[in-house]
Structure 1
Amino acid sequence: MPTLQLYGWNEHFMRHFKTNKSQDLEAARVLSIQGFKHLLITEAGNLEAQLASALMNSHEPEAYPKTGDWVLVKRYDEEGIIIDTLPRINELSRKAPGTQSTRQVLATNIDAAFIVQGLDNNYNIMRLQRYLQQVIQCNILPIVMLNKADLVPNPENYRQAVKELGYNCPVILNSALNLVQQEEWTRQYLLPGHTYILLGSSGVGKSTLLNNLLGYKLQEESATSTANNKGKHTTTARQLVLLPNGSMIIDTPGMREFGVTEENGTIGIHHPLIDELAPQCRFGDCTHQHEPGCAIIAAVRNGALPEPVYRSYLKLLREQYHFQTSEADKRRNERHFSKIAKQIFKHRKDSKY
């Protein structure tokens, strides 16, 4: 099989590649990014490349090539220059860490996301709901993996608690010591030619999991701190690797923050259980917070909708609204700055200095 097809090249990217007028540009996929250096896979093998100045000047940072992107690259001796990025099928984003409301694209062109939580003090059902919500908003299939299942007496109880969230996604129990268990879910969920991403906090066992899937140590495994039960960072950059069965996984550094954004210019948290009940509300524009005749509030009161799910829903909705408001303020300030800059430029031109 040609190299590019091994790494997920398909009709979508071929169609956009054919619109390229230049004959000396190659298609390549971004495997990892280290500073200004991009490691690509081309039909001829690996290639290191940097971004063209024109690309950096004409795009917002979130549109710069990310791990998983397909790009157009021009060769110069043993290095390359990335000229442009082919249109993405999807992109996994989050609110950038910190107080500023900025959208950060983590990786692109992903078929499914493994959301990994360790059952050794890392398990947090509301944090998991945050991951699920953002992954689904980004049009990516979520797969929940409850890792280190051998460290708790009744791991099935944890799986049932995740199922009760109502997202109707696969929930896998996994242990690094149980290779038979790993072979079973690998055969079912890791499909050749598909791209997956590992998400989760530090110390949940992502590096151990990836090493087991590869059959060798790509990453050194790091123990969880005994002082605070928080993981230590092992992976330092996102990187895409080809697994022996022909599937691909993007490994990511542990994330302590995973803030929600608004995608496609719309605001709204679409939880399956709430979406199912919403048509029964008295008002079509019900916010499910204080209106009379709200079916969601009634379901919480009679126990049909778990109260933690509802509280998490409201919290995520507030975060998303705050993000959207801050983004609007930023765009308004940028337009204002651009208008002032044009006026200054015109004044200098008219005054000839």
Structure 2
Amino acid sequence: MSLLSQYGWNSHFEQYYTSFLHQGLEAARVTAINGYNHTIISNKGLSAAILAGTLMNSKETWELPKVGDWVVCKPYDDQSIIIDVLPRQNAISRKLPGRSSQQQVIAANLDAALIIQGLDRDFNLQRLQRYLQQVYQCGIQPVIILNKQDLVDDPEAYRRQVLELGYKCPVLLTSALDRAQLESWTSQYLQAGKTFALLGSSGVGKSTLFNALSGIVIQKEGNLSTFNNKGKHTTTARQLVMLPNGSMLIDSPGMREFGLTIDADEGVSFYHPQIEERSANCRFRDCTHQQEPGCAVIAAVEAGTLPVNVYRNYLKLVREQYHYQASSMEKKRMDQQFGKLSKQINALRKKRKY
């Protein structure tokens, strides 16, 4: 098996790579990014890499190489120059913090996302649903990891709360400090040749878990802030590491904000099993579950069979998607107007030339 195959190379990337063969370019996977510095793995091994100027000038920020991306590059002295990015199979993204409507790609070409919540202070079903929605929106399979089970009296009660949400994904209890517990689920869920991303807010134990699974200290672990007992940001750069069993794990900085994204030309949708189950009985096929007559979802809330907090959280996330889509469409409209203006200016310049 080639080194590229060990790192997840498959027929999807092969078909796009063939057009670059005659240019003498090598295929590689991005394993780390720190500022403008990239690390890639090719059949020749690890090397440092920089982005070609034409690539930086022709791509949107979210289209530039991210950890997990497959790229084509050419050697130059003791490093490589990344020429282009091969089309992604998928990518996990979030809305940039603040009022921006732009998306930030966190990692690319994943087989699953490990959503981590700590049972000491971080456990929050609404936040969990936010992560689940975005992961499903990106077409990626989630696995929920409830960490720090050794710090609560009844960890199974927390697991039941998550299972009651109805999502069809694994929900695992663990402690990053317990080697036997880690081995019990990693042998089943982290398969060789597959790529997984760790997602979660600061303080959930992501770095501790990452270090325990990799067998080496990759990131410096942080303490809790004495001011608000929230976790400090301990990971400052994203990276992909091959685990001892041959699977790959991508760590990323803890995220205090995890805004939902949706393309401007897509319809707003929100996957929630309890909503989906009841919406099949709504009078109208395009029911928004807010004020339409004959809405089975609203009827379930009024009857007490659908918890009010679940319904309110659903509406909140759907409205957030609407807001992001509206902002994204406005940005596209402004870009189109700017493009037309640029063409007019260029045409005027050509006309005035002697």
**TM-score under structure 1 length normalisation:** 0.97
Contact 2:122/2:204, CA 8 A, preserved across alignment: yes
The answer for the alignment partner of 2:262 in structure 1 is 262
- Offset at residue 23 of structure 1 (A): 4.2
Amino acid at match of 1:30: V
- Offset at residue 50 of structure 1 (A): 1.1
Contact 2:196/2:250, CA 8 A, preserved across alignment: yes
- Offset at residue 148 of structure 1 (A): 0.5
The answer for the alignment partner of 2:92 in structure 1 is 92
Amino acid at match of 2:312: R
User: Deviations 1:110-153 (Å, cap 9, x if unpaired)?
Assistant: 11111111111111110010000000110111111111101010
Q: How many Å separate the matches in 1 of 2:220 and 2:34?
A: 18
The answer for the alignment partner of 1:323 in structure 2 is 324
Q: How many Å separate the matches in 2 of 1:34 and 1:342?
A: 37
The answer for the alignment partner of 1:344 in structure 2 is 345
Amino acid at match of 2:55: L
Amino acid at match of 1:163: L
The answer for the alignment partner of 1:71 in structure 2 is 71
User: Deviations 1:289-342 (Å, cap 9, x if unpaired)?
Assistant: 011110011112223222222111100110000000011111111111111121
Q: How many Å separate the matches in 2 of 1:78 and 1:99?
A: 41
Q: How many Å separate the matches in 1 of 2:165 and 2:349?
A: 61
- Offset at residue 21 of structure 1 (A): 4.4
More off after superposition, 325-334 vs 53-62: 53-62
Q: How many Å separate the matches in 2 of 1:47 and 1:216?
A: 20
Q: How many Å separate the matches in 1 of 2:33 and 2:283?
A: 51
Q: How many Å separate the matches in 2 of 1:95 and 1:177?
A: 32
User: Deviations 1:167-217 (Å, cap 9, x if unpaired)?
Assistant: 121111111332211111111111110000001111111111111111221
Q: How many Å separate the matches in 2 of 1:108 and 1:57?
A: 21
* DSSP 3-state at the match of 1:240: strand
Q: How many Å separate the matches in 2 of 1:148 and 1:346?
A: 64
The answer for the alignment partner of 1:173 in structure 2 is 173
- Offset at residue 278 of structure 1 (A): 1.1
More off after superposition, 300-309 vs 241-250: 300-309
The answer for the alignment partner of 2:290 in structure 1 is 289
User: Deviations 1:48-91 (Å, cap 9, x if unpaired)?
Assistant: 11111222222221111111000001111211111111111001
Contact 2:177/2:212, CA 8 A, preserved across alignment: no
Contact 2:239/2:252, CA 8 A, preserved across alignment: yes
- Offset at residue 265 of structure 1 (A): 2.4
Amino acid at match of 1:39: T
The aligned runs of 1:272-311 (5 Å cut-off) are: 272-311=273-312
Structure 1 unaligned spans of 5+: none
Matched, 1:247 2:255: no
Q: How many Å separate the matches in 1 of 2:345 and 2:13?
A: 43
Q: How many Å separate the matches in 2 of 1:229 and 1:303?
A: 35
Cα distance change of structure 1 residues 23 and 343 upon mapping to structure 2, 3 Å threshold: closer
The aligned runs of 1:188-267 (5 Å cut-off) are: 188-263=188-263, 265-267=266-268
The answer for the alignment partner of 2:184 in structure 1 is 184
Contact 2:261/2:324, CA 8 A, preserved across alignment: yes
More off after superposition, 270-279 vs 108-117: 270-279
Matched, 1:123 2:123: yes
**TM-score under structure 2 length normalisation:** 0.97
Q: How many Å separate the matches in 1 of 2:70 and 2:177?
A: 36
Q: How many Å separate the matches in 2 of 1:350 and 1:141?
A: 55
Q: How many Å separate the matches in 2 of 1:163 and 1:70?
A: 35
The Cα RMSD (Å) is 1.3
Q: How many Å separate the matches in 2 of 1:21 and 1:265?
A: 35
Q: How many Å separate the matches in 1 of 2:176 and 2:331?
A: 45
Q: How many Å separate the matches in 1 of 2:22 and 2:57?
A: 20
Amino acid at match of 1:35: G
- Offset at residue 248 of structure 1 (A): 0.3
Give runs of ≥4 in structure 1 deviating > 3 Å. Answer: none
Q: How many Å separate the matches in 2 of 1:18 and 1:62?
A: 24
